[in-house]
Amino acid sequence: MLCNSLGGTDAELAGCFASFGLPGDVLWVYVSGCLLLLIGLSKIRKDELPRARGLDKFLPFGRLFLAIPMAAFGKEHLTDTAGIATIVPQGMPAHTFWVYLVGIALIAAALSITTKIQPRPAATLLGVMFCCFVLLIHIPNIVAQPGNRFFWSGCATLRSAAALLLLRDRRSERGATGRCGAC
């Protein structure tokens, strides 16, 4: 399909990708990240940069810094399903289903945040999903393996998200003077 529109064959396209020396699961993570970067940059360039002034021109890129890793993690869930399914708690049935569901949810949230189509519900659901990860995966594993740094990092992520929510609440308290209500 793509090869025919570019004037090549499927074998030639496969040869081009093979020259990078990347396995397929790694290659598609990069492809998803680059594709989301292109979508986001075109949206930012067309819609937001012309209206922004000064340092506000950097703010729209924050969405990309969140969305691109989410798309890469989502793609990883779809390509390394068996490996990630081992992390799903034993008490939950259908491990593979949960891995696919989380992968699709991560990609959908990344697209939503990048394109600004319903970004608030997507970000909220993404935060709820991360809280569920901490409660269902990280905390039980910290109790079982207190020396494993991977599971502690999940709790640090939750603390970071809580700090960002606090910042958002403080910004919403600001009145017309630009100062927060407690100041």
pLDDT in tens, 109-134: 999 988 888 888 888 888 888 888 88
Q: Is the pLDDT of residue 170 over 60?
A: no
Q: Are residues 143 and 161 in the same domain?
A: yes
- Please tell me whether residues 44 and 107 are part of one structural domain: yes
| Within-domain flag for 180 | no
Is the same domain home to 17 and 70?
A: yes
* Averaged pLDDT of the chain: 77
Same domain, 69 and 97: yes
Query: Do 100 and 128 have their domain in common?
Result: no
Do 38 and 104 fall into the same domain? yes
For residue 11, the model assigns a pLDDT of 56
- What is the DSSP secondary-structure string of 57-112? GSTHHHHHHHHHHHHHHHHHHHHSHHHHHTTS-TTSS-HHHHHHHHHHHHHHHHHH
How many domains, the chain? 2
Query: Is there a single domain that holds both residue 86 and residue 131?
Result: no
Q: What is the residue whose two structure tokens read 């593979």?
A: 96
- For the segment 18-24, the average pLDDT, to the nearest whole number, is 64
Please give the residue range of the domain that contains residue 82: 1-115
Q: How far apart are CA 81 and CA 99, in angstroms?
A: 6
> Distance between CA atoms of 110 and 117, rounded to whole angstroms?
10
Residue 178 in any domain: the answer is: no
126 found inside a domain: yes
pLDDT band at 108 (very low <50, low <70, confident <90, very high): very high
- Answer yes or no: do 161 and 124 share one domain: yes
104, 125: one domain: no
**182 part of a folded domain:** no
